[in-house]
Amino acid sequence: MTAEANWRIGVDVGGTFTDMILVDRRGDIRVVKVPTVPSDPAEGVMAAVGKAAAEIGVPVEGLLGDCALFVHGSTIATNTVLEGKGARVGMLTTEGFRDSLEIRRGQRDNPWDHRTPYPPVLVPRYLRLPVRGRVDRTGAEDAPLELADVDAAMRVFKDEGVEAIAVCLFNSYAGDGQEVAAARRAEAVGPTRWVSVSSAVAPIAGEYERGSTTVLNAYVAPRTVGYLQALNRRLEERGLKSPLLLIQNNGGAVTVEHVADRPATLLLSGPAAGVGALSYYAAAAGTSDLISMEIGGTSCDVILMTAGKVAFTSNLDIGGYACVLPSVEVHTIGAGGGTIARVDAAGMLQVGPQGAGARPGPACYGLGGTEPTITDAQVVLGRLKPGTYAGGAVAIDAALAARSIESKIAKPLGISVERAAAGIIRLMDQKLLQAVQRLSSERGHDPRRFTLVAAGGAGPLHGGTVARALGCRHVYLPRLSGAFCALGMLHSDVRHDYVRVHFIDLDRADPRGLETIFAALEREAIATLHSEGFVDGAARCERALDLRYVGQQWDITVPVGAAFDPATIRRDFDAEHDRLFGHIQPGGIIEITKARVTGVGRLPPLSPGAPPAAEGAARPTDRRKAWIDETSGWQDTAIYDGGGLAPGHRIEGPAIVNEQTTTLLVGRDDVLVVDKSGNYSIELGGVAE
């Protein structure tokens, strides 16, 4: 990690485009876009590097050799799951428990939707094979492991062409001896080197979730790790000196080498990079209490950061499969520019969650879509201008937008096309508001203390309305809204999570016992960080305990200091419980369930750029009628080109700003300000102090 080098490069491989962001030492940002090569995503990455080098006017080796940080936001693990293209996995379980993966605890998202089958189980029953042996809930051996059963299973796996193995034995979170022994045997005699072990991947209690996570890990491993290793080699061959970094579910970066055993930690890689973006914009926005609302074509991802920290969760659902690795808490709803509006059989307007996708997309794209979408409503309301976007990749036809809203919404409801379009937007804004509330007010955070960051291509059209409904006084709109996560990747520290299940009453816990556990986890964390080149001040550890009142099934993670102090821990736990749930159990028995250590390797932060200040007032390039909100209705609205706006510019609403990757809407009583870093902030009028 050579700090004196110049470039930082972030690459995001999307379904259609591979986006690259380059930031120089001064913080100036350059964006490069090339088509994705689905058959070999690395090809697209190399093409982007080539294009960037050409634009800067240096050879590829010069660019990569002068690169301090190369971060890759890869959806390859996620897509492997969503597209069902993972490895053929064989699973070893304790005799009697081979079916927990398929029973899935009977959980379905919506019980009423009982006609929809589960997504296919990732390991068929005939490849989930039992082995005899057992440890009890304390980790002590009940019955010895029968290695002959492992050998027999390996013969089946060989015959069946198994490409990766998941080992998940009963109670292994409490004692991993048998599981590790079975895994070693599988590696020795089995058909593949890809062996995922549950006590290493996700050492938590609960055979279903631990097993599911381990299977996901095995399922994505060969393709994901293979791709990343190959890309890393190619970049090294072309001059990259620092290792390729990936963003994990926990929002932290990691090297290919260290993610090779746990590629499932990349399953939420995309949205988790939003954490880095929030930290980055925190400096510019002047607050570390932020809520991001990143809206793309199909979905909206919400992340809440308070005092510079984000909440973590261990309950992920990836395409219907459970994954319990520590992850940034991202609340995702199906609400984006392509989300479809419809009127149900009894005349109620509905928005989403179905979307029109990239193809056919909104009706106004003229690619065959006839269902009205959010984007179509924005066009009808004059907020998006007809014409070509993204260098001609998309053309918007206002007549098609109006026609689809007319026939599908306005006529059935007996209202005008404009009223219908406004209704669609209001319902969308309500869904966005509820998504933000889900992480804020419902978790005891008063949203009024936060600055809403509205990002993603579609976010800055909704930010003002949602922020006002939340009672915020500001909303922050990054100039590069469409590259929110790519930028975030360049502003992330390296993070490694370690966890050990440990059940004991808080008040009866032996401090020495806990210290032994923490110390062991920390040794592991520090050793890993050292091997990555983080030494002295650049490497540190954070401790936390998972706690609950006895009988509860949900834990609260509470950070703890180096000295074990039950009174402080109880106070912190009660405070957090009260914030989350509105009550505490005075004197209740608090149970420790897990000890956690996070190793953090500090990467030099990215500093926001400082573009030259404005000279003279901002001038609109156009004016047109646009629907602003329910109170203001249609307004004669000034249109600005973002390229002409610089730090110091203030624009009174109503106004619309066209930016390279997004469009901003400024309400009638609001004022848009360009800050020192060149990003936008809207001061919302009429919001009580």
Query: Which residues of this protein are in contact with another protein, per CB under 8 A?
Result: 95-100, 102-103, 105-108, 110-118, 124-126, 136-137, 142, 170-171, 173, 205-209, 344-350, 413-415, 419, 422-423, 426-427, 430-431, 434, 442, 503, 549, 551-554, 580-583, 585, 588
Nearer to another protein, 122 or 485 (CB): 122
The distance of Cα 265 from the centroid of its chain, to the nearest Å, equals: 11
Distance of closest approach, residue 375 Cβ to another protein, in angstroms: 19
Count CB neighbours of 442 within 10 A: 12
Nearer to another protein, 170 or 498 (CB): 170
Closest to 49 measured CA to CA, from 74, 25, 18:
18
Closest to 529 measured CA to CA, from 260, 326, 258, 279:
258
DSSP reduced 3-state for 143: strand
DSSP reduced 3-state for 20: strand
Supply angle C-alpha 477, 351, 76, rounded to 5.
65
Nearer to another protein, 32 or 381 (CB): 381
Q: How far apart are CA 682 and CA 671, in angstroms?
A: 6
Distance of closest approach, residue 572 Cβ to another protein, in angstroms: 18
Closest to 467 measured CA to CA, from 347, 292, 299:
292
Q: How far apart are CA 577 and CA 306, in angstroms?
A: 16
Count CB neighbours of 232 within 10 A: 21
Return the sign of the alpha-carbon dihedral for residues 646, 648, 649, 652: positive
Distance of closest approach, residue 336 Cβ to another protein, in angstroms: 17
Nearer to another protein, 221 or 421 (CB): 421
Nearer to another protein, 126 or 370 (CB): 126
Burial of 583 (C-beta count, 10 Å sphere; 0-12/13-18/19+): exposed
Nearer to another protein, 69 or 204 (CB): 204
Nearer to another protein, 517 or 580 (CB): 580
Query: Which residue, chain included where needed, has tokens 């609950």?
Result: 548
Backbone φ/ψ region at 566: left (φ over 0), alpha (ψ -120 to 50), beta: alpha
Distance of closest approach, residue 532 Cβ to another protein, in angstroms: 34
Distance of closest approach, residue 627 Cβ to another protein, in angstroms: 13
Return the sign of the alpha-carbon dihedral for residues 197, 199, 201, 204: positive
CB-CB contact of 235 with 65 (8 Å): no
Distance of closest approach, residue 126 Cβ to another protein, in angstroms: 4
Distance of closest approach, residue 216 Cβ to another protein, in angstroms: 17
Nearer to another protein, 520 or 580 (CB): 580
Q: How far apart are CA 644 and CA 618, in angstroms?
A: 7
Cross-strand bridge partners of residue 9: 22, 70
**Tokens, residue 469:** 């409904």
Q: Give the count of alpha carbons within 13 A of 303, CB side only.
A: 35
Distance of closest approach, residue 174 Cβ to another protein, in angstroms: 8
Distance of closest approach, residue 458 Cβ to another protein, in angstroms: 20
Distance of closest approach, residue 171 Cβ to another protein, in angstroms: 6
Nearer to another protein, 6 or 434 (CB): 434
CB-CB contact of 261 with 320 (8 Å): no
DSSP reduced 3-state for 332: strand
Distance of closest approach, residue 337 Cβ to another protein, in angstroms: 20
Distance of closest approach, residue 124 Cβ to another protein, in angstroms: 6
Nearer to another protein, 359 or 583 (CB): 583
The distance of Cα 267 from the centroid of its chain, to the nearest Å, equals: 9
Nearer to another protein, 385 or 448 (CB): 448
Distance of closest approach, residue 97 Cβ to another protein, in angstroms: 6
The sheet with strand 633-641 has its strands ordered as: 622-629, 633-641, 655-658, 663-666
Q: How far is CA 411 from CA 375, 467, 627, in A?
A: 19, 32, 20
Supply angle C-alpha 575, 579, 583, rounded to 5.
80
Nearer to another protein, 232 or 437 (CB): 437
Residue 252 CB partners (closer than 8 Å, separation 6+): 492, 493, 494, 495, 496, 600
Helix H segments across 238-292? 256-259, 269-272, 274-285
CB-CB contact of 639 with 655 (8 Å): yes
Q: How far apart are CA 383 and CA 422, in angstroms?
A: 11
Nearer to another protein, 337 or 423 (CB): 423
H or E stretch covering 218:
helix 207-237
Nearer to another protein, 410 or 489 (CB): 410
DSSP reduced 3-state for 484: helix
Nearer to another protein, 468 or 496 (CB): 468
Q: What is the CA radius of gyration of the chain?
A: 26
CB-CB contact of 337 with 374 (8 Å): yes
Distance of closest approach, residue 286 Cβ to another protein, in angstroms: 31
Nearer to another protein, 622 or 630 (CB): 630
CB-CB contact of 463 with 680 (8 Å): no
Distance of closest approach, residue 104 Cβ to another protein, in angstroms: 9
Distance of closest approach, residue 499 Cβ to another protein, in angstroms: 15
The distance of Cα 190 from the centroid of its chain, to the nearest Å, equals: 35
